[in-house]
Amino acid sequence: MEKKTLGKAQFRATRERCGISQQMMADHFGNKVLTVKRWEKPGEAEAPADVQAWLGHMLDLHIQAVEAALDAVDEMTETQGHAPSHVDLLYYRSQEHYDRYGRDKGDYSIVNARSREIAAILEAQGIEARFQYPEDDETGFQRLANTR
């Protein structure tokens, strides 16, 4: 089954939802940022199929990571018998910061986008989301990092 081509606005919204900048996308495919801008501009060329497929894959990974975090909150709720009053979410200040404190290789903006989406969903459920820089609480960070 062939995946549907994303419209220009949907392409951009998906890229932004996943925390992927135009520069990151251009670098990944060996293009200039102007090329990515054209893929998002009405009346210009569509993004090639391989780019569309990659973005679809990145969205799948994003959704899986968000769902895994929400599943962990559901497990906490079951174990405690009630929803937590708040959930701490890691947030990184820069790529250097993520390279130092992050568990896996990757881009900090992608991880931060996931944290923002998790926070929005939790807040809609009445659970406070608290963003934490890892260096603010090294012990707490280790606890959080080991739950991913």
pLDDT at 136: 80
Residue 3 pLDDT > 70, yes or no? no
Mean pLDDT of 81-98: 93
CB atoms within 10 A of CB 81: 6
Q: Is the pLDDT of residue 100 over 70?
A: yes
What's the fold here for domain 8-145?
Answer: Putative cytoplasmic protein (1.10.3100)
By C-alpha distance, which of 142, 98, 91 is closest to 115? 91
C-alpha distances (whole Å) from 84 to each of 25, 62, 119, 124, 127 are 37, 23, 13, 14, 7
pLDDT, residue 1, reads 47
Say which residue, 110 or 140, is predicted with more confidence.
110
pLDDT band at 144 (very low <50, low <70, confident <90, very high): low
For a pLDDT cut of 70, what percent of the chain falls above it?
90
Q: What residue spans define the domains of the chain?
A: 8-145
pLDDT at 2: 52
3-state SS of 3-34 is CCCCCHHHHHHHHHHCCCCHHHHHHHHCCCHH
Distance separating alpha carbons of residues 2 and 41, to the nearest angstrom: 24
CA distance linking residue 26 with residue 95, whole number of Å? 17
The token pair that represents 122 in the structure block: 């939790």
Residue keyed to tokens 């975090």: 69
Closest CA to 131 of 143, 116, 147, 110: 116
- Contact call for residues 126 and 82 (beta carbons, < 8 A): no
